[in-house]
Structure 1
């Protein structure tokens, strides 16, 4: 629970999720896009997952799951597709799965290239690089990321263990840096860098030290180490320039510890009002969590043919959707102009 709250409070993951947020024109569009993603992805995704999971359980003896003289549960999906899906639909299904993989892969690769080229190479290595040079460096970093990722994938024991490390252990090093960037005015790029280093390096080492330990148990320690790196790195360097902080605070209007920046902004713009919607936002988060959970449960109960459960969950979806309509959608601020979302803090 602690891990989930901290990772959620850190906001969009700094990959293709953040790219989608930054591609919107204003905070209202960013909020609507995030909500629309849940409506589109969750029911369809779990409809297929539930269907194949049930086929795998019911017809376990008909699936070829033995690999290297042991049962490999990752073979359930390909074996179920091969055994139960008609030939024509198999092609469509594989094309859809391949497209989903390519979209995720391309989005993650583009995010990695953007960080390496824009945030490191152009800022610290060669700020005056021309377009041709930037293009070549971009190609090189992309190729390097693909090679390193492929090599790491070859050493992975199975998908489940890799995902456990990513969402449990690795998030401990990720959450602190991405949490503080929204809620603490003094936090800067140096604090972010050292916080990530202080979390990611132990995330690589701890699984080797505590072999057989569930990765989730490493999250609190990694979070504390990363938080220490954030604070030390921040106070060991100069704060971000005041103009950038004021622009960020005016645009995003975050909660948290922004007192000095708020006072300076109000001194120059008396019409500015602090974000006082914390209570309502927390209420919307609770309702939204129930809403998202019901979007997952509905297709599962449909596949299981649980009529009563479908009616109950469907009723909850209608109720929570109505509450979110009144408490969230109707209260989204309409932009006065088509200004882009600027969340950069330098």
Structure 2
């Protein structure tokens, strides 16, 4: 429970991943982006209902037959379902898989063409050429992913590798970019590269430790690398940082930028919004846990626990209405 709670806090601090940004960039203004984030939080949590349902069905109907092996429960449960229901569940699972893969492949193409090729190597390329390069990047990404998947022996090993990649390569640098003014784009890139080297080295040469030890060690080491890279590379220009801070107003280590933004009159003195963001971050974690546990206890028919978490969910909904929803920017605010 504590590990899951810590993971959710870490995930919220890091903000959206690269592929998540597409969802927010389609909004019309800052208010719609904030509302989309709220809907994303709810939808992201509700997906665990189907996973919870499979787990409970597997334990209840299969028992020892499943061997409490996570890789066996889902296919065995599917075999127990009626044929029509079995097809419906397979369609749901495949739709979720396809939507996730398509989003990640699409954003891979976008990053390669817009953030690298168009910006640094092909400023004079025509739009049709950029589209072709984007298609080529998608094909290469799919091919590499397929080849890499052959190295996994089971679902657990694939999941562990994904967690290591997310935590050390993405979450640590992604957290620093929002909460430390010195952490520039170059620091972000090099932190990810060095974190990747750590993962590869650990997977190749150091396999004796339990997974949870390595996860904690790699996370801490990745943060240390981020701090070092933040001092190695120069921060982004103050003008850009002030413009960013005045629009986003993140919490964290932004004192020089905040003071300059206050001096220019772009934000109010002693702005309370970052403090509300800190509070809402912790409340949202409990809010998500409550949403996930309510159906879990419902399926287990543990009514007292379910009612307790419904009460927690209701109280937090009221609090977040005042601390988050009422603090949203106006529709015409840029």
What is the TM-score with the length of structure 1 in the denominator? 0.84
Alignment gaps of 5+ in structure 2: none
Q: 1:133 to 1:77 in 2, by over 3 A?
A: same
Which of 142, 153, 163 is residue 159 of structure 2 equivalent to? 163
Partner of residue 342, structure 1: none
Give distance in 2, aligned partners of 1:184 and 1:134: 34
- Note if 1:81 corresponds to 2:83: no
Contact (CA 8 Å) 1:176, 1:226: kept in 2 or not? yes
Partner of residue 122, structure 2: 126
Partner of residue 24, structure 1: 27
Name the SS of the counterpart of 1:59 in structure 2: helix
- Give 1:237 deviation, angstroms: 4.2
Partner of residue 49, structure 1: 51
Which of 7, 14, 37 is residue 34 of structure 1 equivalent to? 37
- Give 1:132 deviation, angstroms: 1.7
- Give 1:3 deviation, angstroms: 5.6
- Give 1:311 deviation, angstroms: 2.0
Give distance in 1, aligned partners of 2:7 and 2:301: 34
Superimposed CA distance per residue, residues 226-246 of structure 1 (whole angstroms, 9 cap, x where no aligned partner) = 345444544444442343222
Superimposed CA distance per residue, residues 75-108 of structure 1 (whole angstroms, 9 cap, x where no aligned partner) = 321221122x222222222212111111000111
Partner of residue 135, structure 1: 131
- Note if 1:301 corresponds to 2:304: no
- Give 1:57 deviation, angstroms: 2.0
Give distance in 2, aligned partners of 1:91 and 1:184: 49
Alignment size in residue pairs? 330
- Give 1:330 deviation, angstroms: 1.9
Which of 87, 96, 99 is residue 103 of structure 1 equivalent to? 99
- Give 1:210 deviation, angstroms: 2.2
- Note if 1:12 corresponds to 2:16: yes
- Give 1:50 deviation, angstroms: 2.7
- Note if 1:318 corresponds to 2:314: yes
- Give 1:186 deviation, angstroms: 2.5
Q: 1:321 to 1:228 in 2, by over 3 A?
A: closer
Which of 286, 290, 301 is residue 290 of structure 1 equivalent to? 286
Give distance in 1, aligned partners of 2:233 and 2:297: 54
- Give 1:190 deviation, angstroms: 1.1
Give distance in 1, aligned partners of 2:60 and 2:293: 20
Q: Which of structure 1's runs of 4+ aligned residues deviate more than 6 A?
A: none
Give distance in 2, aligned partners of 1:29 and 1:216: 38
What is the TM-score with the length of structure 2 in the denominator? 0.87
Contact (CA 8 Å) 2:169, 2:196: kept in 1 or not? yes
Superimposed CA distance per residue, residues 220-275 of structure 1 (whole angstroms, 9 cap, x where no aligned partner) = 44344434544454444444234322221121112233333334434443665564
Give distance in 1, aligned partners of 2:309 and 2:185: 44
- Give 1:164 deviation, angstroms: 1.8
Q: 1:285 to 1:123 in 2, by over 3 A?
A: same
Moved more, 188-197 or 303-312: 303-312
Matched ranges for 1:270-281 at <5 A: 272-273=268-269, 275-281=271-277
Moved more, 298-307 or 208-217: 208-217
Contact (CA 8 Å) 2:251, 2:277: kept in 1 or not? no
Contact (CA 8 Å) 1:122, 1:129: kept in 2 or not? yes
Contact (CA 8 Å) 2:32, 2:331: kept in 1 or not? no
Contact (CA 8 Å) 2:290, 2:313: kept in 1 or not? yes
Contact (CA 8 Å) 1:197, 1:226: kept in 2 or not? no
